[in-house]
Amino acid sequence: MLYVPAGEAPSPFVASGSFKAEWEGVIHLDLRDRFVFQAELNGSLKLELNGNPVMEATGTGGMTEPTKRIRLNSRSNTLKATFTSPEKGDAFFRLYWSTPDYGNEPIPPKYLKHAPNENLAKGKALRRGRQLAAEHRCFKCHAADAPGKGMPELAMDAPTFEGIGSRRGVDWMADWVLYPKKLRPSAKMPAMLHEATAESDARAIAAYLGSLKSGQPVKPVPVDADAISAGQALYKQLNCAACHTLEKEPAAPGKLALGQAQRKFGQAGALSAFLQNPQAHYKWIRMPNFALAEKEANALAAFLFSAAAPAKTDSPDSDASKIAAGKKMVSSQGCLNCHSMKLENSFSVAAISDLAKGCLTDSPAGSTVRFGLAAEERVALRLFLKEGRESLGQASLAEFALRQTDDSNCRNCHGQMESVPPFDVLGGKLKPGWAEKLLLGTLGERPRPWLHARMPAFPARASGVAKGLAMLNGHSPVTPEEPPLDPEKAKIGRKLVSANGGFFCFSCHAIGSLKPAQVFDAQGINLAEVGDRLLPEYFRRWMSSPLRVDPQTKMPAYFNQGQSALFDILDGDAEQQIEALHHYIRLGGEMVPPEAPGQ
């Protein structure tokens, strides 16, 4: 699947304009089966299976004719797809397969594999170097080498220093400044202090930062048995363990240890304030926003403080000479290239072409800026800076979504927690406009407030991730307009959701103001919210075979072999009934609920 808006490039490493893209790999099946292939595209597509051409079509946005039924072997079947962009309009294609047992669906990623080769390895290294350059804020210092716009991560910030003394413990800040990776193995901040005075310099910097107060008193939070118990339950409910451990020592890469909570925040009230709005002082922070109420944040802070290692009594260092020395070092050590505050920045660096002699040297002792990069990271960065730096001027939202959802550990919850859908379906399921609001945290009431899990917000990443996920699934990054709503079809759809001769959908689903009638196991989403939420193609596929889309769903299947049991409505034709249901749910807040049983 692919979607490239007109005038944009399919990859940040190639120029915009007309292009041809090729995919080669294998379809790996456990059992042989017979498949029909079909594509929806704007452009030209040639498909070869096991060396045989099976499709060659040009489309202007619609569906191609289906291929003949093709038998695929168990184990490996070679696949080659060649797509050529159209002369005008957005370039896209979505490839589907079907069998006698189920209708068109995207080929599930679990069946697709490819053999490594030199080109793929080089491309992977270039992308890795590009990602590392952004994550480590290389172009905050080497600003003259950066484009004015392009890769979204170029805008990544760091925690502001304004008022930081009210938010962080001085003792923790000193250790962090001295060697960030000792406290967090995945830290991107470099170690800048290496001389014999490094430790005392770090203490001076921490003393200065500790003196920067917000002027707002920290609200006290009781760390008592009731609060700890409530916080522990919330820690489990929010699946905090997807990204964190309660260890007192730094965790392995990929997990952040919360055992330093007391040293880091100093007071439970400061941690509570952070949990209520993690982005308040750091827009691009990885920590998502769960929209915690103050009572919830207080309870979670109490639990984390109870499980953390005790902190030293963190009284501010009032030594004026030490604070002055720390202020001078903050000004001169490069801190202000990433961290914001009203202070003159006197730090300067060499051109990025000289990095092999500095940050990227193989000998850490040879550089004053030490990121603790692994050997493969240095190789990837050197390759990128040599051959791929121009790609910084290109914004590929599809690749942005891949990077950011991986960095945010989305798959640690999606597909792992009950009622949380698999991650791979999301870009082909949700309208990008709705998904952006979800990720921004601006939807208001949660779509399913009764669920145990809670979807957090990622405000700085919301727009790019929502659009990029859609593009990765071959859909437009802008929610497409739909055909005019047909009132007659909507009327039939209302009949289909009813209990009087319909599917009795409101036994589990609310429909506008009509509450579910018979929820025995799992409540469904209010049908008035479905039209704004789901892409039409996904809605049709879901209704045709819910278990095929999500094997864990409680949603029953109402259609089989293109028919339903309601033969007196549209002759039981599944496609027409699903179309009528879609027109009804598109009414949204204007939906007239069906009559209750017996009315």
368-390 mean pLDDT: 90
If asked whether residues 415 and 389 sit together in one domain, one would say no
Per-residue model confidence (pLDDT) at position 358 = 72
Query: 478-488 burial, b if ≥16 CB within 10 A, otherwise e?
Result: ebeeeeeebee
CA 169/CA 172 separation, integer angstroms: 5
Residue 389 has pLDDT above 80, yes or no: yes
Number of H helices, E strands in the chain: 19, 13
Residue 357 has pLDDT above 70, yes or no: no
Q: How many angstroms separate the Cα of 304 from the Cα of each of 172, 310, 432, 521?
A: 16, 11, 36, 33
What is the Cα gyration radius of the chain? 28
Per-residue model confidence (pLDDT) at position 415 = 87
| Count of C-beta atoms within a 10 Å radius of residue 265 | 26
Mean pLDDT of the chain: 91
If asked whether residues 109 and 168 sit together in one domain, one would say no
Per-residue model confidence (pLDDT) at position 366 = 60
If asked whether residues 214 and 292 sit together in one domain, one would say yes
Measured over the CA atoms of residue 446, residue 447, residue 450 and residue 453, the dihedral's sign is negative
CA 392/CA 384 separation, integer angstroms: 10
Among 414, 438, 472, the domain boundary falls at 472
If asked whether residues 498 and 365 sit together in one domain, one would say no
**Triad 244, 249, 255: Cα angle to 5°:** 25
CA 352/CA 405 separation, integer angstroms: 29
If asked whether residues 17 and 77 sit together in one domain, one would say yes
Residue 277 has pLDDT above 70, yes or no: yes
| Count of C-beta atoms within a 10 Å radius of residue 31 | 8
Per-residue model confidence (pLDDT) at position 313 = 66
CA 176/CA 284 separation, integer angstroms: 19
Per-residue model confidence (pLDDT) at position 523 = 82
Instruction: Write the pLDDT tens digit of every residue in 156-179.
Output: 999 999 999 999 999 999 999 999
If asked whether residues 388 and 438 sit together in one domain, one would say no
CA 593/CA 178 separation, integer angstroms: 63
Per-residue model confidence (pLDDT) at position 146 = 80
CA 415/CA 421 separation, integer angstroms: 5
If asked whether residues 184 and 284 sit together in one domain, one would say yes
- In this structure, is residue 289 part of a structural domain? yes
Grouping H, G, I as helix, E, B as strand and the rest as coil, residue 14 is coil
- Number of domains the chain contains: 5
If asked whether residues 87 and 24 sit together in one domain, one would say yes
**CA end-to-end span of the chain, whole Å?**
48
Residue 95 has pLDDT above 60, yes or no: yes
Measured over the CA atoms of residue 355, residue 358, residue 360 and residue 362, the dihedral's sign is positive
Question: Residue 536's closest CA among 475, 455, 448, 466?
Answer: 475
Contacts by 480-485 with C-beta closer than 8 Å and gap 24+? 482/536, 482/586, 485/583, 485/586, 485/587
Question: Residue 82's closest CA among 109, 44, 112, 108?
Answer: 44
37-62 mean pLDDT: 96
Burial of 516 (0-12, 13-18, 19+ CB in 10 A): middle
Per-residue model confidence (pLDDT) at position 420 = 87
507-532 mean pLDDT: 86
Per-residue model confidence (pLDDT) at position 263 = 93
- In this structure, is residue 148 part of a structural domain? yes
pLDDT band at residue 353, thresholds of 50, 70 and 90? low
Query: For residue 291, what are its two tokens?
Result: 């929209």
- In this structure, is residue 333 part of a structural domain? no
pLDDT band at residue 252, thresholds of 50, 70 and 90? low
Instruction: Write the pLDDT tens digit of every residue in 572-599.
Output: 999 999 999 999 999 999 999 998 665 5
- In this structure, is residue 598 part of a structural domain? no
Among 115, 148, 175, the domain boundary falls at 115
| Count of C-beta atoms within a 10 Å radius of residue 414 | 19
Per-residue model confidence (pLDDT) at position 64 = 96
> Phi/psi at 151 (nearest 5 deg)?
-55, 125
Per-residue model confidence (pLDDT) at position 522 = 72
Grouping H, G, I as helix, E, B as strand and the rest as coil, residue 79 is strand
If asked whether residues 196 and 299 sit together in one domain, one would say yes
If asked whether residues 179 and 285 sit together in one domain, one would say yes
CATH number at residue 546: 1.10.760.10
Lowest mean pLDDT among 74-88, 204-218, 247-261, 429-443: 247-261
Per-residue model confidence (pLDDT) at position 561 = 87
Per-residue model confidence (pLDDT) at position 355 = 62
- Helix 225-237 vs helix 294-307: crossing angle, to nearest 10: 100
- Helix 487-497 vs helix 574-585: crossing angle, to nearest 10: 100
98-124 mean pLDDT: 90
Per-residue model confidence (pLDDT) at position 387 = 93
- In this structure, is residue 328 part of a structural domain? no
| Count of C-beta atoms within a 10 Å radius of residue 571 | 11
Per-residue model confidence (pLDDT) at position 364 = 67
- In this structure, is residue 494 part of a structural domain? yes
If asked whether residues 169 and 125 sit together in one domain, one would say no
Instruction: Write the pLDDT tens digit of every residue in 471-485.
Output: 999 999 999 899 999
Question: Residue 81's closest CA among 61, 101, 64, 102?
Answer: 64
* Residues 315, 316, 317, 318, Cα dihedral to 10°: -120
If asked whether residues 251 and 350 sit together in one domain, one would say no
Residue 511 bridge partners (DSSP): 514
Query: For residue 243, what are its two tokens?
Result: 């990204």
Are 219 and 273 in contact, with CB atoms under 8 Å apart?
Answer: yes
Question: Residue 161's closest CA among 314, 289, 342?
Answer: 342
Per-residue model confidence (pLDDT) at position 524 = 85
CATH number at residue 105: 3.90.182.10
Are 303 and 332 in contact, with CB atoms under 8 Å apart?
Answer: no
Q: How many angstroms separate the Cα of 377 from the Cα of each of 254, 373, 394, 440?
A: 16, 6, 22, 32
- In this structure, is residue 293 part of a structural domain? yes
Query: For residue 194, what are its two tokens?
Result: 């290496």
CA 137/CA 125 separation, integer angstroms: 18
CA 154/CA 18 separation, integer angstroms: 27
Residue 71's Cα: distance from chain center in Å?
37
Query: For residue 259, what are its two tokens?
Result: 């055992």
Q: List, in order, residues 6 or more apart from 123 with CB less than 8 Å away.
A: 13
Per-residue model confidence (pLDDT) at position 365 = 67
- Pairwise pLDDT comparison (146 vs 354), residue with the higher score: 146
CA 126/CA 251 separation, integer angstroms: 28
- In this structure, is residue 331 part of a structural domain? no
355-376 mean pLDDT: 78
- DSSP code per residue over 445-495: S-SSTT-SS---B-GGGHHHHHHHHHHHTT--SSPPP-PPP-HHHHHHHHH
Structural domain range at position 146: 119-157+345-393
Residue 314 has pLDDT above 60, yes or no: no
Instruction: Write the pLDDT tens digit of every residue in 430-472.
Output: 999 999 999 999 988 776 766 788 999 999 999 999 999 999 9
Query: For residue 411, what are its two tokens?
Result: 């798959």
Grouping H, G, I as helix, E, B as strand and the rest as coil, residue 579 is helix
CATH number at residue 228: 1.10.760
> Phi/psi at 119 (nearest 5 deg)?
-65, -40
> Phi/psi at 86 (nearest 5 deg)?
-75, 170
Per-residue model confidence (pLDDT) at position 597 = 63
Measured over the CA atoms of residue 391, residue 397, residue 398 and residue 404, the dihedral's sign is positive
pLDDT band at residue 315, thresholds of 50, 70 and 90? low
Place of tokens 């191609």: 64
Residue 139's Cα: distance from chain center in Å?
24
